[in-house]
A and B are shown apart, each in its own frame.
Chain A
Amino acid sequence: MKALLIRDIRLAVRAGGGFGLGLAFFLIVIVMVPFAVGADTELLSKIAPGVLWIGALLACLLSLDRLLALDFEDGTLDLLATAPLPFEAALSVKSLAHWITTGLPLVIAAPVLGVLMNLPTQCYGWLVLSLLLGTPALSVIGTFGAALTVGIKRGGLLLSLLVLPLYVPTLIFGAESARRGAVGADVSTPMLLLAGISAAAIALMPFASAAVLKVNLR
């Protein structure tokens, strides 16, 4: 399992691995928003938590079609399916690698980009915490979507359509946590629900992903 994690991270950071794709997209979107909305700092700080969350979510979505498609094309998935490693575990590890190379950089970049959005000071901690809790769910749900569409050439559109509805609960509670943090309200309810969604997704999604991927490999 460690070998798979190291290999996936190594592949992501080498040339053509797609590391930084999501991060660059996130950066571009957030930099563009103040230009588009205008220099109304009050309005910007009001929409900042939501915009940052949407940016992170779309950046995550952008990297999903590479998650399994490359391993499918070169036969790695066939070989992994016959390996002693349980397929569910292999997919959990692939989700983890995706989170480390895509989700984690977003979490780290978010407070920096928050400055551009005039994010209220008291919100920084809550924003980072909500992203830290929410992005793992995005990765495991995304792995499920990628597993569903893996055999389809140019399946990116279908993947987005399938995954976005599944992302909505994470987005609602994640953005709500950050928003409440920004206005100084109690964040515990949305934060707990967000953590619950993540925990459930991490526990259940690998089984669903492995089941659909096995059907797709036939």
Chain B
Amino acid sequence: MTLAVTNLTIARGGLPVLADVSFVLETGQALILRGPNGVGKTTLLRTIAGLQPSLNGTVAGAQDQIAYAAHSDGLKAMLSVTENLTFWAEVFGQSDISHALKAFELENLSDRLAGTLSAGQKRRLGLARLLVTGRPIWVLDEPTVSLDTASVTMFAAAVVAHLNSGGMALIATHIDLGIEQASLLDLTPFIALNDVAMGSSDEEFL
């Protein structure tokens, strides 16, 4: 299985931010996206996840394969940890959540309401959601925010296990996760020149 991104040009708020981004991700590989704030990491990930249209270029192999996780985890404060996870498992047609609880050491918290968890615990629950989707391509936007060192190791282990079982991962992060299979992609060379394509999306629309 392959995720192929070809000549992708993406826009945020109608202005192009990255142009001609191309890369190929094969089974068992991970790609770490790097770049300064505002370079368009989130926009790129959202475009690949199909949440927003691209200006140009193609994303192949992503349809119905992506588990997306961003700054907000889609957790409900008034549902317990188990209820939150079970819900997402059922949405993705899965039923088993025990391995996800185990991977992120949430077993002891399983009956607590998500609203009573700490920020790091919430984040772990949000990442555990990836395991219950059963999707092969993980698209993660700053997954380690508010995680402590031990939890980051836990997360890196989960990513490695996922890669070894035939998954892929596309991660935007500023810290070194220590994942051997991962290659780095610096987005700085792809920054779009804003003056050329101003309003092009509107013209296309008309």
Q: What is the interface of chain A, defined by CB distance below 8 A to chain B?
A: 2-4, 7, 10-11, 14-17, 71, 73-76, 78-85, 217-218
Contact = CB atoms under 8 A, between A and B. Distances in A.
Q: DSSP majority for the A interface?
A: helix
Given A10-B83, A217-B51, A79 B88 contact: yes
B189 interface: no
B97 interface: no
Interface residues of B, number: 27
B78 interface: yes
Given A7-B79, A10-B83, A218-B53, A84 B93 contact: yes
Contacts of B71: 75
Contacts, number: 66
Q: DSSP majority for the B interface?
A: loop
A110 B75 CA distance: 35
Nearest to A7: B87
Interface stretch (B30-38, B62-70, B175-183): B62-70
Given A4-B91, A80-B91, A17 B79 contact: no
Interface string B90-106: 11110000000000000
A214 B49 CA distance: 13
B157 to A, nearest CB: 23
Given A78-B68, A84-B64, A84-B92, A3 B87 contact: yes
Contact of A82 (B50, B72, B73): B50
Given A81-B51, A218-B53, A74 B87 contact: no
B120 interface: no
Given A74-B75, A80-B74, A218-B51, 18 more contacts: A3-B86, A11-B76, A14-B79, A15-B78, A16-B78, A17-B78, A74-B72, A75-B72, A79-B68, A79-B129, A81-B50, A82-B49, A82-B50, A82-B67, A83-B92, A84-B93, A85-B91, A218-B53
B22 interface: no
7 contacts: A3-B90, A3-B91, A76-B76, A78-B68, A79-B88, A84-B91, A217-B51
A10 B87 CA distance: 11
A79 B64 CA distance: 12
B79 to A, nearest CB: 7
A16 B55 CA distance: 41
Contacts of B52: 217-218
A142 B73 CA distance: 26
A2 B51 CA distance: 24
Contacts of B92: 83-84
Contacts of B53: 218
Contacts of B51: 78, 81-82, 217-218
